[in-house]
Structure 1
Amino acid sequence: MPAGLVISAPASGVGKTTLTLALARAWRNCGLRVQSFKSGPDYIDPAFHAAATGRASVNIDSWAMDRATIAHLVGRGTDADIVLAEGSMGLFDGVAACGVSGTGATADIAEMLGWPVVLVIDPSGQAQTAAAIAAGLRDYRAGVRLAGVVLNRVASPRHEDLVRRALNDAGIAVFGALPRHAEISLPKRHLGLVQAEEQAEIGKLIDEAARFVSEHVDLDAVLRSAAAWSVQPAANGLNVTPPGQRIALARDAAFSFVYPHMLEAWRAAGAEISTFSPLADEAPDASADVCWLPGGYPELHAGKIAANARFRSGLRAFAETRPVHGECGGYMVLGTALTDADGISHEMTGLLGLETSFAKRRMHLGYRLAALAAPMPGHQVGARLRGHEFHYSTIVAQPDTPLAVVHDATGAVIAETGSWRGHATGTFFHLIAEDR
């Protein structure tokens, strides 16, 4: 029977991903089967998890997914020795209004699955106060159990001793303390970490993190703190409808933000997926019945996309007879123009009238609930779709017919409605699940 743990923290940027990857690789090196998950809407961390464990990782999300879907997804860990769920933001950070099974907080997953929490605490600029923070998190919600803490970025042995003493007095186990170590920092950009596939040395980086953490953390004590669990079979499985039988999926450095559970659900429903690279000037498979352009970083490659005539003409020809859908960055590429951070405008495919700009960046972030006013691949008018939006582009023009009425997690209507024209549709949010 596997044992489960949640890796969380008081806030973002404390070291959750690094500790998760290090523990996963260290235990894998010891011969254990390790399964990882990511709590919340993050496209990047699951690829790092897979690199560390050798097993695919998926997102589990209490705002967008019901309990049956979450149970189905975590069921892949039943043959593992240890399961690690990496949290997002702080342990209790979610939205104000409850979604399908929670607020999207990591604590929802910990309580739902009965997995204890290992907190990563960064005591920089403090000492005993770190224990007060850990004790507050331990006592905040009765159904969430704290296993212990790992201290990160400890300044000195004296600093560590002060924090350890305070935590021991509070009855909180300290599994280890990590001094500052720049060599295991993961590079970042404006939407989070640089993706795993963009880092040629990712294996060495994870190995170094595992070595470093093994020297400073009691891995056996962490393993003993995990809770044995058995998942109940989920009758309904994943609530995801494939957009077509044969899907042409854009997949390269500019189009890489796809939730792993979405692709698995499409294949499980019998769909076939053929990938193509717009950056390599490839057109979608002519035998496909739908084309899907996911998000990513098109703004970093806008000049190349604009110059790739075979991709653009091939996509336009495809859209004359079959549906094409774009999410976020993919939606921007379906538009007429994209202005990059330097203020240079690049011609896009022109299937939609959307014009976007990164010259004046403004963050758009949060869960989205969309009621479709027009059909999109895989979903009919009236369907209620749950997703997440995260980008820094601004809308210069969005002249086409709105695709949906879109609300944020508080119920407020937002301007990013998506749009459609002919066979082309697009949204700024990334689809996670459809309401049953």
Structure 2
Amino acid sequence: MTDASLADRHRAVLPNWLALYYQEPIEIVRAEGRRVTDAQGRTYLDFFAGILTNAIGYGVAEISDAIRTQVDTGVLHTSTLYLIRKQVELAEQIAELSGIPDAKVFFTNSGTEANETALMLATQYRRSNQVLALRNSYHGRAFATIGITGNRGWSASSLSPVKVSYVHGGYRYRDAFRGLSDADYIRACVDDLRDVLQTTTAGDVAALIAEPIQGVGGFNVPPDGLLGAFKEILDEYGILLISDEVQTGWGRTGEHFWGIQAHGVTPDAMTFAKGLGNGLAIGGVVARGDLMDCIDANSISTFGGNPVSTAAAKATLDYLLDHDLQGNAAKLGDRLLRGLRGFAERYDVLGDVRGKGLMIGLEFVAPGGGPSPSAAATVLEETRERGLLVGKGGLHNNVIRLAPPMTLTDAETDEGLEILGESIARAQEAQTK
């Protein structure tokens, strides 16, 4: 079967709003290491890792063996009504790694569900439905998480169970405070937070939820210390801080294991998902024990923390730690950033190169500095044609997102840079015609 006929069948029975990459969508049928192969037999170097989810890459024996061992028991599912050994072991490990005092962990199936759970905990604990979020944020596709998503392109409904107020600090490149130094930018955002609390809320806000680096929003990186400065204000009001680590967790930023650590503060709760399962569905919340235990109604999770997913996640986390993949992300991320910033000096179409570790955003601009979605679309197609898969996003859909598996090698880094350079050059040519 050709990819084209499968794409036609996809469009006939799946929603129109379910996006597909590329003018000619591809079906990935095999994978090994950091490379995937489509149904036509063409192999690509993967620099997006299933939206940061295949964090360790493909065909990792230790992870496959852990999944196979669990499958061979015949126990694929029991639900949280029964003890699950790997769930307990994984929770113990994450609680310790979190740095949150007296931490407890609840497992879900996705980042969306994790953020929904965090919002439920915070609003119950504080007895308030008021929530603060950052402009240009993205936290998921369910009812409450859409309500706190500060990016119109991903906000499917104006209805919400929470009352949200948005603060500055997410998208610095096009922020009203763009030209300020780091210290002045933080000061301006803190002043904005105070103003928002005093003018758009009743004061008794449940929580501020923030991505340490915005994901869907275009890998936007705030100055280190911003969220720490926010927490000083939050503490005056008793407001909780939730760090959305769905994309920034597990060492991907290189310099820290959790993105929030760049801000010198310990949050009250963190949400996680994506890379933990290396492709299997798992997410969760790690929070202070008193916050986690504030729910007084009955609750379970049918599939969250199931035996297969937690076995895979435990093997993934062990592999990541044993092989210092955080260190690898830091080293190769720096190498990528240096090369990409060299392209920015050469090509006007590349307006901004930002990121940390193996989480890098390339913002494309039109003459005069406005967003250029067409240039980003050109790079998406050109990289695919040359054998490299990348992501795309941003408020204006003009940001190429790079997030390779954290097992990336030096040679693969150079290969990716060469393809990116050629593709950016084509975008520059297309814009100057």
The TM-score with structure 1 as length reference comes to 0.25
* Higher percent of residues as helix: 2
Highest RCO, 1 vs 2 (Cα 8 Å, sep ≥ 6)? 2
The TM-score with structure 2 as length reference comes to 0.25
Select the structure of larger CA radius of gyration.
1
